[in-house]
Structure 1
Amino acid sequence: MEIQRVILNNIGLFENLEIALAPTEQNPSNITVFVGNNGAGKTSILKALATSLSWFTARLRTEKGSGTPILEDAILNKANGASIEIEVCHSSITPNNPDHIDYRSKVEYLKWTLAKNRKGRKSQYTSNLGDCTRLASLYRDALTHDDQISLPLIAFYPVERVVLDIPLKIRTRHTFGQLDGYDNSLSQGVDFRRFFEWFREREDTENESGISPDLLNKLRPLYKEIPDVWQYLNELQASARDRQLTAARTAISQFMPYLENLRIRRKPRLHMAVDKNGETLNVAQLSQGEKSLMALVGDIARRLAMLNPALENPLAGDGIVLIDEVDLHLHPSWQRSLCHRLIQTFPNCQFVLTTHSPLVISDCKNVLVYTLTNSELRQIPSQYGQDANMVLLDVMDTSIRNEKIDTKLKDLLEAIQDDNLAQAQELLTQLTEELPPNHLELVKAKLLLCKQELRHASH
């Protein structure tokens, strides 16, 4: 399931905005990225998509379910009403049981419109959710005949997804059935508490049918003495591994390879542990960036695992994932590889992202990138392989250095090129007092000035 196009009428800052989302013919990746200044409307686009998709997940649960309405505050000022229209491309639902029929044998294109009028006003926009209801009904019909059918992930991770704590105790137990993969998926973002509870429950089941990792490590010294027994124990452990847990562990290790063996420990108190570069740590000891990324990736993997119970690799499930400010709390090296790892780890999910980082859009081929400026949307050419400073200048309209210093450096270079050596020397003296001695542009300017002075001295 993929969104092909969204049309916003009087939503946020946009009077009329039509957006095609990747994959497209020119951009075959499954990632669309919006960049722009704060207040440009990036978040409004994601929220509009989440609002429209909420009606699909609600009607998948129950025939007459209601999703999130368009808020009156989201309507463009002075407009009487607003609408969100999305067009969805949806491929066939194939039951896992070959005795059952294939409910749809070809790709279908569906669209639905959600509208909202201001109180006491009339508007040209009306809701039409017929295709949304029909698509949800197809899934409910498939689930009726095969409770192992795969469902598409639909999730929105807002900027408020910061992970501040990890629970030590679970006071309210939740269920983890297939449809529970949609719980709070469009309204709450990352829920580490739910992830912790789900992980603990799956691991308890896994340990019941196999050997706990801690016990296996204690038996490691037997390897040299009884190699056949050690091999048997490892094979037993491998066969007992929970497929859903394996998906979560695999996803996290794809993004943070130095983290291994994520697990629940009971002593000295209940907590989640992980091995970082060979040292066992409480997950709460990780940095905010590490916890945020682990929670985000873990939550996507958890939901995919729940929604695709019969897939050998649940990470291959499809769906639509919206992430606001995807670079939040991430080190530049993580930002650089983020799109590539999303594609590699979740190959069949469509991602719609917003970012302020030039590194996110310059290190992955075929990503569809839009800039937003004064409510105007513009698709930009691929930034793959582009220098991050050039992306800052050309795409994000941001100087690569302090503007005052940048002006002085430009004046210095112009003075050198114009053979105005006295002015150049004065500017160089000023900059030398302000900048560190190893400043690259300053070093270059000194060399150029020295060459000009030598050339003049030889004449």
Structure 2
Amino acid sequence: MRLERLEIENFRSIDRLALDVGRRVTLLVGNNGAGKTSVLDAMATGFGAALTYLPEVAGRSLSKKDIRQKDNRIAPYVRIAMSTVSGVKWDRILRRDQMRSTALEVPKPIGVRELERTLEQDVVLPLDEGKDVELPVIAYYGVSRALLEVPLRRRGFPRQYSRFEALSGALQADSRFKSAFMWFYNKENEEHRLQKERKSFDVSLPELDAVREAIGRMIPDISEPHIALNPLRFAVRRGADALDIMQLSDGYKTLLGLVIDLSVRMAQANPHRANPLDAEAVVLIDEIDLHLHPSWQQHVVGDLLRTFTNTQFVLTTHSPFIVESINNLMKRHRVSSLPMDEEIERLLPLDPADCRSYLMTESDGALSMLDEERGLCQDHFLDYFNELSQTYDAMRDLEWEHRQ
């Protein structure tokens, strides 16, 4: 289910837009109102057709509010078209009304039959037959992901989970931490029962190990994640301190909530894998820099790529640190054969062929920032990132002139 191309017509503020999607990471940069979040919403709606077809899962659909309106005129239709690396194509279209004149303006639809046929053959039927087929994870994380909801009591916790439930609510951009909390609680109880049966505390569940591994890789100073009682809470250790997750700063909660939810979904979707974190996934994250200190922004993308090794990330940001961090990863790929110090060697090499980077503007849509020859993002396009330094240079020149 790796996405290759997205096409948007008349979706909210977007007139027409076509994006090639990077195999590992796609970065959308731009001012507020440039359409970055709308692109993620369009992707989520496009993938909603897949989730709607799968059993036990609800997707998301187009609504009349999604149809572009400009100069007091509502566009005749909204369309989202997607294609995967494997060649599967589909689209979703919603008309403004049922008038014949409107129908004449709507393009011929591709529809979702090819997508549904592929899901039936590659996912649904093999799972019905009890085969250990891989279930791809698709997840969307919006700017409300730091709002972590914890259940107040243990009553009503589900006892069993199907693999399809890993996709439940996955395309809603708000926080889904409560579901991950309940899964973690049940799996810990299952692990404790196994330890008691085998009389060994060394026994662990691979699914829980995957979540613990993800937390350790992404936030090394957080350890021993577990569910504590009286009161019911998700507890971790940070250094020498045992803390309720709600006591952590917004930066920790934002990143930890995302990592826990995503790793739980991957473990739930593919429990048969030795390491569920290596399964295929598509993850959309709005404002990847949200609440993160610049020092975290410099390595968060590399940490995500290293932790979730077969995940395709589509990210939005306002931060120059994110842009430069991706440049560092691509430059690391270019110098892989050269002798280097330990700090550079720790960086994850990112092949520029696996990356796409766009500057979103209200007037010109999406402008590619990737210099194909150099294999770097051309951050000189980001004028608004450079305004502060330009103002500083002007004041410095004024000071020099005054001294003369």
Residue 71 of structure 1 and its aligned partner are, at CA, apart by: 2.1
| Residue 145 (structure 1) aligns with | 129
Residue 171 of structure 1 and its aligned partner are, at CA, apart by: 4.4
Residue range with higher mean Cα deviation, 370-379 or 158-167: 158-167
| Residue 195 (structure 1) aligns with | 180
| Residue 231 (structure 2) aligns with | 269
| Residue 368 (structure 1) aligns with | 356
Question: Does residue 206 in structure 1 map to residue 191 in structure 2?
Answer: yes
Between the two proteins, the alignment pairs up a number of residues equal to 365
Larger Rg: 1
Deviations 1:215-268, CA, capped at 9 Å, x for gaps? xxxxxxxxxxxxxxxxx98xx333x211111111110111110111111222x4
Residue 125 of structure 1 and its aligned partner are, at CA, apart by: 2.9
What SS class does the counterpart of residue 310 from structure 1 fall into? coil
Deviations 1:143-182, CA, capped at 9 Å, x for gaps? 1222532200011112222325533424443452211001
Structure 1, unaligned runs of 5 or more: 24-29, 90-107, 213-231, 416-423, 426-448, 450-459
| Residue 343 (structure 2) aligns with | none
8 Å contact from structure 2 (residues 58, 168) kept in 1: no
What does 1:256-405 correspond to in 2, within 5 Å? 256-266=219-229, 268-363=230-325, 364-365=329-330, 366=352, 367-374=355-362, 375-381=364-370, 391=379, 394-401=381-388
Question: Does residue 20 in structure 1 map to residue 20 in structure 2?
Answer: yes
What does 1:174-253 correspond to in 2, within 5 Å? 174=158, 175-210=160-195, 236-238=200-202, 240-253=203-216
8 Å contact from structure 1 (residues 154, 182) kept in 2: yes
| Residue 124 (structure 1) aligns with | 106
Structure 2 letter corresponding to 1:58: T
Residue 315 of structure 1 and its aligned partner are, at CA, apart by: 0.3
| Residue 432 (structure 1) aligns with | none
Moved over 4 A (4+): 382-387, 402-406
8 Å contact from structure 1 (residues 151, 307) kept in 2: yes
8 Å contact from structure 1 (residues 35, 396) kept in 2: no
Taking the aligned partners of 1:165 and 1:141, their CA distance within structure 2 comes to 35
Residue 66 of structure 1 and its aligned partner are, at CA, apart by: 7.5
The 1:88/1:404 distance shift into structure 2, 3 A limit, reads closer
Residue 111 of structure 1 and its aligned partner are, at CA, apart by: 0.2
What SS class does the counterpart of residue 61 from structure 1 fall into? coil
What SS class does the counterpart of residue 398 from structure 1 fall into? helix
| Residue 50 (structure 2) aligns with | 56
Structure 2 letter corresponding to 1:314: P
The TM-score with structure 2 as length reference comes to 0.83
Residue 283 of structure 1 and its aligned partner are, at CA, apart by: 1.7
Structure 1 letter corresponding to 2:126: A
Residue 400 of structure 1 and its aligned partner are, at CA, apart by: 4.9
8 Å contact from structure 1 (residues 115, 126) kept in 2: no
Taking the aligned partners of 2:387 and 2:298, their CA distance within structure 1 comes to 18
Question: Does residue 114 in structure 1 map to residue 110 in structure 2?
Answer: no
| Residue 220 (structure 1) aligns with | none
| Residue 32 (structure 1) aligns with | 26
The 1:116/1:324 distance shift into structure 2, 3 A limit, reads same
Structure 2, unaligned runs of 5 or more: 331-351
Deviations 1:374-403, CA, capped at 9 Å, x for gaps? 24211113699999xx94x64253345287
Q: Give the one of 160, 165, 168 matched to 2:144.
A: 160
Residue 361 of structure 1 and its aligned partner are, at CA, apart by: 1.9
The 1:211/1:358 distance shift into structure 2, 3 A limit, reads farther
Question: Does residue 81 in structure 1 map to residue 66 in structure 2?
Answer: no
What SS class does the counterpart of residue 109 from structure 1 fall into? coil
What SS class does the counterpart of residue 353 from structure 1 fall into? strand
8 Å contact from structure 2 (residues 60, 171) kept in 1: no
8 Å contact from structure 1 (residues 22, 31) kept in 2: yes
| Residue 2 (structure 2) aligns with | 2
Residue 126 of structure 1 and its aligned partner are, at CA, apart by: 4.7
Structure 2 letter corresponding to 1:10: N
Taking the aligned partners of 1:251 and 1:54, their CA distance within structure 2 comes to 26
Residue range with higher mean Cα deviation, 337-346 or 278-287: 278-287
Residue 43 of structure 1 and its aligned partner are, at CA, apart by: 0.8
Taking the aligned partners of 1:280 and 1:13, their CA distance within structure 2 comes to 46
Taking the aligned partners of 2:293 and 2:273, their CA distance within structure 1 comes to 33
RMSD: 2.6
| Residue 339 (structure 2) aligns with | none
What SS class does the counterpart of residue 53 from structure 1 fall into? helix
Q: Percent identity of the aligned residues?
A: 29
Residue 76 of structure 1 and its aligned partner are, at CA, apart by: 2.1
Taking the aligned partners of 2:268 and 2:395, their CA distance within structure 1 comes to 58
Taking the aligned partners of 1:265 and 1:318, their CA distance within structure 2 comes to 32
The TM-score with structure 1 as length reference comes to 0.74
Taking the aligned partners of 2:265 and 2:5, their CA distance within structure 1 comes to 25
